[in-house]
């Protein structure tokens, strides 16, 4: 249950004058999202995580080489945990060397650094490099696929299952546009030092130069990643990220008819998102937003806020119509743990809910003395 709502106009919480200027602009009419020829797609804001446009975003589809986004994520996790280094040498097995599809052209039994193999995966989309890394990390590609599925579960992917590291077709190998966007966000957020490789246009190994298949890296200077994919059964796929004026968007396009079609579809979605939407920071994570009465506690109140910074994505020019309500639980009784949810922040735009987040305790409150608990018990009786 919740008690009285505390109404908050966001302008009283935001300090930067730039945001006030944004609020003063007239709202821009928002047309329908572009109709693109894809089996499924998703466009979302990186900071807020809000979906701007989607079609079949939760339908399991073949990802082709977009699979390698998770492959690289797992390898980066191994590096961060100290189980692997960029300088470490990897022996290329015959299986890796023989893997069909796009290639880095590593030679069987040669020793190649993890860093070079990662660039072969990310820039050249080499299946041989991908299998070599998988085998080096987990012993077998099958074992590596189990690691991929473990990390997928940890990231909260609900429509994904991997059976290989490359994305070569298999009936039990699938994902969704929404799950791909989650992996892309994790990659950008967790590994900025490696994410820059996704914007590199070419990589030379063994005197062979190959070019990044993401055409938008040449077309749009705001695009800095991420990954293409193609098989006959999956069609042409592309997950893209771009940043303009501090706003970053992620688009996922699955199952288009050609390289040109996937680039055009991704560009149309990105342009739509940047043209008609804007993202604002509303509250910092860990900052006090309000306080609440605590019963039977060593302290009579507890500070409440959000565990993560809250961003919101809205149509351009609508900032002035944002407001929020903080809904607190009835009769908050000690003991209270730090980060314990004790209410909700509900953000609305012109009376329509935009986002809801838990209000959590910013500090713990221990149980009060016997006398304090006795007094509060009596007071609660008359509430």
Active site residue 110: no
Q: What is the pTM of this model?
A: 0.88
Provide the token pair at 24: 């003063």
Strand partners, 310: 283
Token pair of 115 as six digits: 């860093």
Domain residue ranges of the chain, discontinuous segments joined by +: 2-22+282-381, 40-256
Per DSSP, the three-state class of 284 is coil
Of 218, 209, 216, 156, nearest to 185 (Cα)? Answer: 156
Among 71, 42, 63, smallest CA distance to 249 is for 42
Give the pLDDT score at 26: 57
pLDDT recorded at residue 18 = 38
Query: Which among 93, 102, 125, 165 is annotated as catalytic?
Result: 125
- Per the annotation, the verdict on 65 as an active-site residue is yes
Segment holding 239, helix H or strand E:
strand 235-244
Fold of 40-256: Beta-lactamase (3.40.710)
Calpha distance 269→265 (Å, rounded): 6
Low-confidence ranges of the chain (pLDDT < 50): 1-24
CA torsion sign for 358, 362, 363, 369 is negative
User: Residue 27: CA atoms inside 13 Å, Cβ hemisphere, count?
Assistant: 12
* Burial class (CB within 10 angstroms; exposed 0-12, middle 13-18, buried 19+) of 132: buried
SS3 21: helix
**68 classed as catalytic:** yes
User: Which pLDDT belongs to residue 191?
Assistant: 97
Contact 19, 319 (CB under 8 A): yes
Same fold, 2-22+282-381 and 40-256: no
CA distance 244 to 247: 5
Give me the CATH topology for the region 2-22+282-381: Peptidoglycan synthesis regulatory factor (PBP3), Domain 2 (2.60.410)
Phi, psi of 343 (to 5 degrees): 175, -170
Alpha-carbon span 266 to 229, nearest angstrom: 13
Q: Are 346 and 324 in contact (CB under 8 A)?
A: yes
Q: Among residues 48, 65, 165, 241, which one is catalytic?
A: 65
CB 235 within 8 A of CB 260: no
Question: What integer pLDDT is reported at residue 27 of this predicted model?
Answer: 64
């Amino acid at each position: 249950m919740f008690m009285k709502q505390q109404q908050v106009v966001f302008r009283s919480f935001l300090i930067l004058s730039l945001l006030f200027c944004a609020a003063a602009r007239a709202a821009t009419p928002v047309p329908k999202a572009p109709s693109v020829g894809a089996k499924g797609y998703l466009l979302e804001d990186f900071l807020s995580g809000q979906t701007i446009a989607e079609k079949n975003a939760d339908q399991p589809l073949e990802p082709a080489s977009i699979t390698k986004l998770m492959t690289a994520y797992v390898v980066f996790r191994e590096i961060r945990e100290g189980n692997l280094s960029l300088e470490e040498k990897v022996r290329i097995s015959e299986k890796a060397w023989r893997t069909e599809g796009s290639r880095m052209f590593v030679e069987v039994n040669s020793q190649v650094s993890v860093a070079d193999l990662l660039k072969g995966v990310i820039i050249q989309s080499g299946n041989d490099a991908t299998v070599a890394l998988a085998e080096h990390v987990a012993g077998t590609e099958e074992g590596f696929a189990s690691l991929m599925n473990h990390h997928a579960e940890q990231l909260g992917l609900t429509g994904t299952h991997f059976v290989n590291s490359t994305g070569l077709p298999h009936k039990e190998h699938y994902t969704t546009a929404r799950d791909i966007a989650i992996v892309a966000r994790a990659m950008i957020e967790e590994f900025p030092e490696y994410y820059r490789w996704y914007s590199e246009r070419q990589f030379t190994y063994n005197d062979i130069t190959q070019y990044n298949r993401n055409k938008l890296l040449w077309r749009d200077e705001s695009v800095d990643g991420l990954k293409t994919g193609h098989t006959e059964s999956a069609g042409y796929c592309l997950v893209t990220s771009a940043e303009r004026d501090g706003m970053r968007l992620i688009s996922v396009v699955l199952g288009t008819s050609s390289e040109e079609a996937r680039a055009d579809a991704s560009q149309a979605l990105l342009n739509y998102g940047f043209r008609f939407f804007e993202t604002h920071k509303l509250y910092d994570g860990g900052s006090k937003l309000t306080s609440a009465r605590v019963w039977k506690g060593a302290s009579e109140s507890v500070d409440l806020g959000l565990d993560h910074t809250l961003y919101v994505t809205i149509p351009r020019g609508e900032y002035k119509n944002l407001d929020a309500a903080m809904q607190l639980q009835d009769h908050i009784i000690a003991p209270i743990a730090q980060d314990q949810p004790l209410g909700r922040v509900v953000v609305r735009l012109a009376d329509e809910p935009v986002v809801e987040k838990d209000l959590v305790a910013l500090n713990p409150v221990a149980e009060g003395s016997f006398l304090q608990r006795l007094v509060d018990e009596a007071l609660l009786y008359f509430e």
